[in-house]
């Protein structure tokens, strides 16, 4: 499992969301590294990490456990948040404090398959620069910010995506779902941090969250949507730092 680590102090592990990578978290890693040893990982089938035929949350939680080795605070966004929750529920001895960014332990109905189709639709033989790929994507992905995010996973020189698009497409139902038979409860401190403009964590999800994470606290970042760490990095950092104990 590929990862980047900076800083010293108490350990923090960061798990990114679908189509993301460790590099998406560079700003947060650098800022928190003054007080913590911060490791951001590339999840399986993403970034520089190995590709695998399975992309279930039990698999991803096992990857995170291996990356931690011992024990750490764990921060996860979206898909990474679900993997972090499964880790906390199945191996609570690995997790000190848990921060789940804008996701709940429930199945969602909105698929993300359209972005896989968009990436598959790029004729990589005609890509000399990232701009070439951006212009091709623009016809199907009008949002400039979304295109920029997806293009972070394009290896321009190698003319390949650093995403296992075939497996991610095949496993999409598992990715937007959540395992229902884990049988565990995480009694440790947990923060469910959401974007105030996002609808991923709804009031009706709180009962489920409290059942699995009885000590969960809830907070929202004003003006932020689902990509709260990218949209409001300073506010996100401040919330993480406060929950993890200020300066560590």
| Model pLDDT, residue 110 | 82
In CATH terms, the fold of domain 3-108+177-244 is: Rossmann fold (3.40.50)
Residues 6+ positions from 59 with CB-CB distance below 8 Å: 44, 52
pLDDT at position 76, please? 98
Q: What's residue 207's pLDDT?
A: 96
Q: What is the per-residue pLDDT for 16?
A: 97
The one catalytic residue in 8, 54, 123, 166 is 166
Q: Is 96 a catalytic residue?
A: no
Catalytic residue from among 78, 153, 194, 198: 78
Active site residue 78: yes
Supply the pLDDT for residue 182: 87
> Using an 8 Å Cβ cutoff, are 248 and 37 in contact?
no
User: Would you list the domain boundaries of the chain?
Assistant: 3-108+177-244, 113-169
pLDDT tens-digit profile, the chain (248 residues):
999 999 999 999 999 999 999 999 999 999 999 999 999 999 999 999 999 999 999 999 999 999 998 999 999 999 999 999 999 999 999 999 999 999 999 999 887 899 999 999 999 999 999 999 999 999 999 988 889 999 999 999 999 999 999 999 999 999 999 998 888 899 999 999 999 999 999 999 999 999 999 999 999 999 999 989 989 999 999 999 999 985 43
Catalytic residue of the set 16, 73, 77, 226: 226
**Buried-exposed string 157-192: b where 16+ CB fall within 10 A, e elsewhere:** eeeebbbbbebbbebbebbbebbeebeeebebbbbb
**Structure tokens belonging to residue 162:** 């650093």
pLDDT of residue 247: 42
Distance CA 184, CA 114 (A): 34
pTM of the model: 0.94
């Amino acid at each position: 499992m590929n990862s980047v680590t900076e800083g010293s102090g108490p350990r923090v592990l960061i798990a990114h969301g679908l189509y993301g990578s460790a590099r998406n978290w560079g700003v947060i890693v650098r800022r928190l590294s003054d007080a913590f040893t911060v490791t951001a990982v590339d999840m399986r089938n993403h970034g520089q990490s190995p590709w695998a035929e399975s992309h279930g949350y039990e698999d991803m939680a096992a990857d995170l456990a291996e990356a931690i080795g011992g024990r750490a605070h764990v921060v996860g966004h979206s898909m990474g948040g679900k993997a972090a929750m499964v880790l906390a529920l199945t191996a609570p001895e690995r997790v000190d404090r848990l921060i789940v960014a804008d996701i709940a332990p429930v199945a969602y109905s909105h698929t993300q398959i359209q972005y896989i189709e968009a990436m598959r639709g790029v004729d990589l033989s005609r890509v000399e620069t990232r701009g070439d790929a951006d212009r091709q994507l623009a016809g199907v992905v009008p949002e400039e910010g979304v295109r920029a995010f997806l293009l972070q996973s394009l290896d321009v020189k190698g003319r390949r995506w650093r995403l296992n698009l075939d497996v991610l497409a095949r496993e999409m139902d598992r990715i937007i779902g959540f395992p229902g038979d884990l049988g565990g409860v995480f009694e440790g401190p947990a923060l469910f941090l959401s974007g105030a403009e996002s609808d991923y964590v709804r009031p009706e999800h709180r009962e489920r969250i409290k059942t699995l994470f009885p000590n969960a606290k809830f907070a929202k970042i004003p003006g932020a949507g689902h990509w709260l760490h990218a949209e409001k990095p300073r506010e996100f950092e401040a919330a993480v730092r406060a929950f993890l104990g200020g300066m560590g």
